[in-house]
Amino acid sequence: MDNTATTRHRILVIGGGNGGLSIAGRLRRGGISDVAVIEPRDQHVFAPLQSHIAGGIARASEAVRPQGDVTPKGVRWIRDRATHVDPHAHAVTLSSGDVVTYEHLIITAGLETRYDGVPGLDAAMNRPSGVSSYTFELAQKASPALRDVRGGTVVFVQQPEPASAAGVAQKPMYLACDWWRSQGRLDGIRVVFVSPEPSAFSVPAISDELQRKLDEYGIETHFSSDVREVRDGSITIGRGDRSETIEYDLLHAAPPQAPPAWIADSGLADDDGFVDVDPRTLRSRTFDGVWALGDAASVDTLRSGGAIRMQAKALARNLRAVLDGQEPRRHYDGYTVCPITVSRRTVVFAEFDGHGRLAPSIPGFASLYRESRISYVFDRHILPWVYWHLIVQGRA
Ligand SMILES: Cc1cc2nc3c(=O)[nH]c(=O)nc-3n(C[C@H](O)[C@H](O)[C@H](O)COP(=O)(O)OP(=O)(O)OC[C@H]3O[C@@H](n4cnc5c(N)ncnc54)[C@H](O)[C@@H]3O)c2cc1C
């Protein structure tokens, strides 16, 4: 006997992370009454704090809340996983076998971490010497591991695109260096930074600011370099046809990332596997009832939580217009932000648009991208409160 059920919602959201709750809350507050979010996890994690946990300046408990507590009031939480979308039938199949139909679907399923994307990386993360700010548990493991380093070689790896806020992989490195310096240990530690990018950041002014910190801490940099293999205690990196193996005592690695495969299997993806939307209106180029925002969407800018705030505003306006029988006219301009903590008191607040131009959100503060104390206070102490109380409630 078939025990599966079919339910219907006017607005259905896949993924109850940063993007999913932001847009669900915003639409609900805008007066749309039938909004549901499919999300399998029962704990919601505020990912930016993982960098601070790894770097020893935040407790793990600050980053987690029960999913039921953060789901906006009036939004239905479907505790399950989407496995397939049929955009012609306007139907989503769940892992339970149940089917949910919709009038409009918003996909905000984020990116998946793929530690198995580099030979040996997965196994390395299971040893005491392998840590990462990109996974909640590994960020907790990173904190005492980095704190207790007294000598030897520590390698930090930034992942290639596509990635969630790629530059933030550098945060635990600067935090650790600042700590080691304060303890008089930094000179005795070889700190190595490996990045696939040609410089510290894609925007020149921000890159210069970060390079100054790399020099200040005496960090050995390997730019334009990819990771070829990780073995027990050694990492092989390469640039073109040259490769080099570095013995390490501790490895902090941001893993390769990719959009979930069911997006492509459902016929919704661009060539890279992201939900194929117009990056300005965030509506599918092929299916009028499908929308996307956040890390899983084909937006042409650095993926970040800061970007999602602007995307949610545009998408909510456009969806509202379509429900009212109008065309979606509000455009997301590619604004994004990547706050990089460069010491235990300062942050480089990297804000820019889809063309890589500096885009400070406070008018008149053109130098916001420079290392500053005030940006640290905002990023470390104010933003978490704003996230829990305003952003995921669709108020900001
Ligand atoms: C370590 C780290 C530090 C970061 N630091 C910053 C920062 O300082 N500033 C900043 O602006 N951004 C930062 N970011 C980026 C920011 O966190 C992401 O851009 C943002 O979380 C993406 O939101 P999202 O909703 O697209 O995906 P997520 O927040 O990842 O949410 C996706 C949700 O979808 C769910 N899901 C997945 N598959 C399915 C399925 N099949 N069915 C149902 N649900 C599913 C997942 O369980 C998850 O809850 C950081 C990211 C990381 C990882």
Asked whether residue 379 is assigned to any structural domain, the reply reads no
* Closest ligand 1 atom to Cα of 110: 27
pLDDT of residue 360: 87
Name the domain boundary from 196, 229, 256: 256
Query: Same structural domain for residues 234 and 282?
Result: no
Q: How far is the CA of 366 from the centre of ligand 1 (A)?
A: 28
pLDDT at 200 over 90: yes
- Residue range 283-291: average pLDDT? 97
Tell whether 189 and 252 lie within a shared domain. Answer: yes
Domain C-terminal end among 333, 362, 385: 333
Does position 367 have pLDDT exceeding 90, yes or no?
A: no
CB 132 within 8 A of CB 139: yes
β-strands 35-38, 6-14 pairing: parallel
* Cβ–ligand 1 contact at 165 (below 6 Å): yes
pLDDT of residue 362: 79
- Residue 3 pLDDT > 90, yes or no? no
CA 303 to chain centre: 6
What would the mean pLDDT of 190-199 be, rounded to a whole number? 98
The answer on 268 and 149 residing in a single domain is no
Choose which residue among 14, 18, 171 to substitute to test ligand 1 binding: the one with the highest number of ligand atoms within 8 A of its C-beta.
18
Mean of pLDDT values over 107-116: 98
Token pair recorded at residue 137: 């548990």
207 pLDDT above the threshold of 80: yes
The residue-averaged pLDDT of 55-79 equals 98
Residue 54 near residue 173, CB atoms below 8 Å: no
C-alpha of residue 216 to centroid of ligand 1, in Å: 32
- Closest-lying ligand 1 atom to the alpha carbon of residue 21: 25
Q: Is 255 in the pocket of ligand 1 (CB under 6 A)?
A: no
Instruction: Please tell me the predicted confidence (pLDDT) of residue 366.
Output: 73
Cα(131)–Cα(112) distance, rounded to whole angstroms? Answer: 17
pLDDT of residue 151: 98
Query: pLDDT tens digits, residue range 256-270?
Result: 999 999 999 999 999
Atom index in ligand 1 nearest the CA of residue 46 equals: 17
- Of the residues 14, 37, 164, which should be mutated to test ligand 1's pocket, given the most ligand atoms within 8 Å of the CB? 164
- Report yes or no on 343 lying in a domain: no
CB 295 near ligand 1, within 6 Å: yes
24 and 106, same structural domain?
yes
DSSP 261-300: HHHHHTT-B-TTSSB-B-TTT-BBSS-TTEEE-GGGB--S
Domain that holds residue 263: 6-40+80-111+259-333
pLDDT at 290 over 70: yes
Mean pLDDT, rounded, for 320-324: 97
For the segment 87-100, the average pLDDT, to the nearest whole number, is 98
Nearest one of 272, 316, 319 to 297, comparing CA atoms: 272
Q: How confident is the model at residue 1 (pLDDT cuts 50, 70, 90)?
A: low
Q: Summarize the confidence of residues 130-153 as an average pLDDT.
A: 98
CATH number of the domain bearing residue 193: 3.50.50.60
Ligand 1 centroid – CA 103 distance (Å):
25
Residues 367-385: what's their mean pLDDT?
A: 94
- Residue-wise burial string across 29-60, b where 16 or more C-beta atoms lie within 10 A, e elsewhere: beebebbbbbbeeeebbbbbbbbbbbbbbbee
In a domain, 167, yes or no: yes
Classify residue 15 by its DSSP letter: -
Distance CA 16, CA 38 (A): 7
Adjacent-strand bridge partners of 107: 14, 292
Mean pLDDT of 367-371: 88
Pocket test for ligand 1, best of 26, 304, 348 (most atoms within 8 A of CB): 304
**Domain boundary pick from 309, 333, 357:** 333
Query: Across the chain, what does the average pLDDT equal?
Result: 96
Assess whether 277 and 188 both reside in one domain.
no
Q: How far apart are CA 88 and CA 3, in angstroms?
A: 24
- Sign for the CA dihedral angle at 248, 252, 254, 256 comes to positive
Q: What average pLDDT does range 104-119 have in this prediction?
A: 98
Instruction: Verify cis geometry, omega within 30 degrees of 0, for the bond prior to 279.
Output: no
Confidence check: pLDDT of 275 > 80: yes
Evaluate the CA torsion angle 90, 96, 98, 103 in order and state its sign. Answer: negative
Helical H runs in the chain? 18-29, 48-54, 67-70, 121-125, 136-147, 171-182, 204-216, 261-265, 305-323, 373-376, 383-386
Which atom of ligand 1 is nearest the CA belonging to 303?
A: 19
Tell me the mean pLDDT in the region 227-238: 97
From the CB of 110, is ligand 1 less than 6 Å away? yes
98 and 194 in a single domain? The answer is no
Residue 20 belongs to a domain = yes
- Give the mean model confidence (pLDDT) for residues 299-307: 95
Query: How many domains is the chain partitioned into structurally?
Result: 2
- Ligand 1 contact via 167 beta carbon (within 6 Å): no
pLDDT band at 157 (very low <50, low <70, confident <90, very high): very high
pLDDT in tens, 13-58: 999 999 999 999 999 999 999 999 999 999 999 999 999 999 999 9
Please check whether residues 103 and 233 belong to one and the same domain.
Answer: no
- What number of other Cβ atoms are within 10 A of residue 169's Cβ? 26
User: pLDDT-based confidence at 4, cuts 50/70/90?
Assistant: confident
Q: Is residue 271 one of the residues assigned to a domain?
A: yes
The C-alpha atoms of residue 169 and residue 30 are separated, in whole angstroms, by: 36
Answer whether residue 317 is part of any domain: yes
Mark whether 12 and 94 lie in a shared domain: yes
Nearest CA to ligand 1 atom 5: 48
